Structure 1
C-alpha cells in the first residue's frame, strides 16, 4: 500500500515518503509538515471517528512512523457520542476510534507526550449536516491535518537523536466527539506511567488563527510553565515569530492557560500540559473560539468544521502561504524546545 502511495506522491517536490535520515536535515523547517498535512487532507477527507477514512489515515500515519524506524502501533477503542435529530430526539452513536502511538525511547523512565488529533468533525445533529459542518468531504487541513504534519516532522527530525527522556508521538482519535481518544489513552495509562509523564504537548488548529498561542494547563506548576510555555515564547520571539499566551480576559480561563482540546484531559488529571494553537484570545467571547477577525473570507471569524472553509483550495486562496508559513514557524519553535525538554544529546 505504501509504495503505491509514494508513486502517487512522486510529482511533489518533497513528497510524503521520507525514508532517508539525511533528507530531513537537508530540507527547510516545516517542509515535511506541510507536505504530510497536505497529503492527509487531500487523500483522507472525512476522517470521522470510526470511518474508513480515519482507519486508512491512521494506518498511513503508523506506516510513516515505521519508516522512520519507530516502534508504532494502532490502538482501537470503543466509545459513543450523542446525535440530535431535527425533532430533538437524541440517540447514542457508537464508534470505534483508532489511535496511533510511536515510541522514541530515552535513557530514563520519564516521558514526554506529543499529541495531535487525526480525526475530523462528525456531524452531531441534523442541523450540523444542513450547515455543511463535518462529514465525508471535510479535509480538515487546519483541524487538524497540520497538527499531525508537525508531529510527524518532529518525529522525523528527532528519530536519530538520543534523549534522556522518552518521547511518545500520538495521533489521537475522537477529539471532535468530546476528547474520546485522549480520555481512553489516559485510562489505559498505569499509575506509574502517569507519574512518569513530565509533559503532554498538544498540537491543534495551527493554520487559520491570527497568531500562535502557547498555553499551559491550570494544574501545570509554575516551574514547568517557565520551562515550557515561557521558553516557547522566548524561542518564538528570537525567530521573529508572533506568539502569545491567553491574556486572561475571561475569568473561566486564567491568563496563560489552555482550553478545550485533548490536553484538557491530562490537565484535569494533574499532568503538566502545553497547548499549541493558532487563534485569537482577544476576540469574541475571549475564549479562543474566534480564530480571527471577521472578514468576507471568514464571516464568523472561524473555519472550524466548515467543509467550504477548512480545505486546501480555500485556505490557499484566502490566506496564501499561510499553511507553509505556520508549519515552518511551529517547527522552528517546537524542535529546539523538544530537544531541551527531552535532554537531547548530540
Structure 2
C-alpha cells in the first residue's frame, strides 16, 4: 500500500496538472483506482445531478478516457426531480445532467458495458438539507467515487488488450434521483445495440460495506449468471477475497440478485447484468441497504449520502486502509473476469 507521504505527494501533484497517463503501467493492481477515487472525491465534492461539480468531474473523466486511448465524449440530457419543502409543498427542479461514455470496438458487434454513477446524492427535501444529506460538501468516496476509480483503472489496464467483444465504459448521472441517466442511456440505444449488449456491469459503493457482493439481475439467464456472478465469486475465493451474493433472506429480493441501482433499468429491459457493491445483505431489513453493523462511527450502519461520514478523512480514520484494499480487491477480480468475458486475445 502507499505510504501516507507518497500518497500526499501524488495528490499534491494532481492538483498542479499531473495526469494519470504519466504512468504507463501502474505498479500494483488497485493503485490507480485508489488514487482516482481520492482525487474525484476531494477535487469534485457535491457532484449532484446537473451541478457545476458534476460537469467538471465529467470533463475530468472524459479527459482521462481520452488519454487512455478511448473514443470518449460527454452526453448531456435534461431532466428534473421533485423537491418537497418542510410544509409539504412540492415543486420540480429542472437540471442538465452530464454523462461520460468511452468505447473501444471489438472484432464483432457484441459489447460489454461497465458503469459507475458519477453523481452524489441530491437533497430531495428540506429534511435532507437539515440532516446534512447530500449537498455541496458531500465527497461521496464510497458513493460513488470508488466505482469511478475502479472503472478508470479497468479502462487503463484494458486499453492495450485486444478483445473479441467491444467494451464501453459509462459514468452515469441521475442515479441518486431514480437511475435517470441509466434510463437515458437505455432509451438512446437502438434495438440492435440492446441485442448486442451481452452484459452490463455496475460498480457502486465499494468501500464502506462489510464485504463485496456480486449479484445478477432478476432476469439474467442462469447460463449468464454462471459465467459472471458465479465466476466472480470463484475468482474472489481463489484470491482470498471476502465476497458473497445476496443470501435471499428478504423474500422481496431473490437469492443471488441485486437491487435498486443503475443495473435495474437494463435488467428490466432483458439485458444481463452484474452488480458489484459492498454492503451486508444479512443486516437490517436484509435488503442490502445497511452496509455494516451500527456502531459509534456509523450510527445507522451506513455512510452513503452523509457528508460527515462519506469523505476521505472520516473513512481513513474509521476504516484505515479500506479504500486501498477494496480498490485492490475489486480490480483483482474484475480485470481477469473482463478479459474472460470480452474474450481477450481471441
Partner residue, 1:227: 227
How far the C-alpha of 1:161 sits from its partner, in A, is 0.5
Q: What does residue range 160-239 of structure 1 map to in structure 2 within 5 Å?
A: 160-239=160-239
Partner residue, 1:85: 85
Q: Gaps (5+ residues) in structure 1?
A: 1-6
Give the TM-score normalised by the residue count of structure 1. 0.95
Partner residue, 2:20: 18
How far the C-alpha of 1:105 sits from its partner, in A, is 1.2
Secondary structure (helix, strand or coil) at the match of 1:48 reads coil
Secondary structure (helix, strand or coil) at the match of 1:102 reads strand
Secondary structure (helix, strand or coil) at the match of 2:224 reads helix
How far the C-alpha of 1:22 sits from its partner, in A, is 3.4
Say whether the 8 Å CA contact 1:147–1:206 is kept in structure 2: yes
Secondary structure (helix, strand or coil) at the match of 2:79 reads strand
Secondary structure (helix, strand or coil) at the match of 1:160 reads coil
Change (3 A) 1:21 1:308: closer
**1 CA distance for matches of 2:13 and 2:99?**
30
How far the C-alpha of 1:19 sits from its partner, in A, is 1.9
Secondary structure (helix, strand or coil) at the match of 1:320 reads coil
Partner residue, 2:335: 335
How far the C-alpha of 1:23 sits from its partner, in A, is 2.2
Secondary structure (helix, strand or coil) at the match of 1:82 reads strand
How far the C-alpha of 1:93 sits from its partner, in A, is 1.1
Secondary structure (helix, strand or coil) at the match of 2:57 reads helix
**2 CA distance for matches of 1:163 and 1:251?**
39
Q: Gaps (5+ residues) in structure 2?
A: 1-8
Query: Which whole-Å deviations, capped at 9, do the CAs of 1:19-44 have from their partners, x for residues lacking one?
Result: 257323xx111000000010000100
Partner residue, 1:249: 249
How far the C-alpha of 1:95 sits from its partner, in A, is 1.1
Change (3 A) 1:16 1:183: farther
Secondary structure (helix, strand or coil) at the match of 1:116 reads strand
Partner residue, 2:5: none
How far the C-alpha of 1:276 sits from its partner, in A, is 0.1
Secondary structure (helix, strand or coil) at the match of 1:228 reads helix
Say whether the 8 Å CA contact 1:119–1:144 is kept in structure 2: yes
In the comparison of the two structures, how many residue pairs are matched? 336
Does 2:285 match 1:275? no
**1 CA distance for matches of 2:51 and 2:12?**
27
**1 CA distance for matches of 2:240 and 2:171?**
29
**2 CA distance for matches of 1:8 and 1:247?**
40
Partner residue, 1:299: 299
